Chain A
Amino acid sequence: MSKLYLKKTQLTEMFTHCRETFPNEACGILAGKDEQVDKIYPTKNVSPTPYTRYLIDPQEQFKIFKEIEKENLEMLAIYHSHTHTHAYPSKTDCELANYPDVFYLIISLVNPKEPVVKSYSIVDGKIKEEEVEIND
């Protein structure tokens, strides 16, 4: 993996989703091609404790995977918000990181007016910060 390219409008869309979902954690999937995000899928957080955890609705996830495949795109990243902590993967984030070939984007709302986004790869529990480039 190298870097992820995101449009400003897409970033804004994710920030809006995270703010609207606050104080619960927001989550979603980013799909695209050649590292450029093309489509954002904000998803429902069905965790029984959405204030501290996220779990993408499995049915919704399955449908999104089908759609991504149909449109000949790839899942490039998974995003979720940290409502009260910085944009760094938690122990649980690492334990449950089942997708070694996608970026994990974390959006911190510690300062809700100025959300921070960071990108990571998580492989076998090892965290590596990755580049994310915001373009127009």
Chain B
Amino acid sequence: MSVKVRIPAPLRKLTENKTEIEANGKTVQELIENLEKKFPGMKDRLCDETGKIRRFINIYVNEQDIRFLENENTKLKDGDEVSIIPAIAGGRKDSAFLK
């Protein structure tokens, strides 16, 4: 499945500043593996050590947050648009419990 992936500013160093790229995968999980092949380092930015999407990374398939679909197992079809959107957050004390 070929999908269009929108890359946010902080990840563009990995994509040679491309804001949109084409990638493949039948699920979001497969898409992330494909992105990692094309742009090494991408998976580490998107997923934690257990392979789950990081808490402060939001991924949308078309208009839908994958957390309300099937998370990493969300299915993709040709022509889908996937948006990677880092959360906007901060705070006063150390962020230990956020991680």
Interface residues of A (CB under 8 A from B): 25, 27, 29, 47, 49, 52-56, 58-59, 61-62, 65, 78, 80, 82, 84-85, 89-93, 95-101
Contact = CB atoms under 8 A, between A and B. Distances in A.
A87 to B, nearest CB: 13
Contact of A97 (B65, B90, B98): B90
Main secondary structure of the interface of A (DSSP, over half): mixed
B65 A53 contact: no
A98 B87 contact: yes
B9 interface: yes
Given A91-B95, A96-B95, A101-B9, A59 B65 contact: yes
A58 B8 CA distance: 14
A47 B99 CA distance: 14
B95 A85 contact: no
Contacts of A65: 85
A12 B17 CA distance: 36
Contacts of A95: 95
B91 A25 contact: yes
B9 A80 contact: no
Contact of A96 (B9, B60, B83, B87): B87
B96 to A, nearest CB: 9
Contacts of A59: 65
Residue among B8, B65, B89 with max Cβ neighbours from chain A (10 Å):
B89
A92 B65 CA distance: 25
A96 to B, nearest CB: 5
Given A47-B91, A91-B95, 15 more contacts: A27-B88, A52-B91, A52-B93, A53-B89, A54-B90, A55-B87, A56-B87, A58-B87, A61-B58, A90-B91, A90-B92, A96-B90, A98-B86, A99-B9, A101-B9
A45 B59 CA distance: 19
Contacts of A56: 87-89
Given A95-B95, A96-B56, A101-B9, A61 B85 contact: yes
Closest 5 CB pairs of A and B: A53-B91, A98-B86, A93-B90, A92-B91, A56-B88
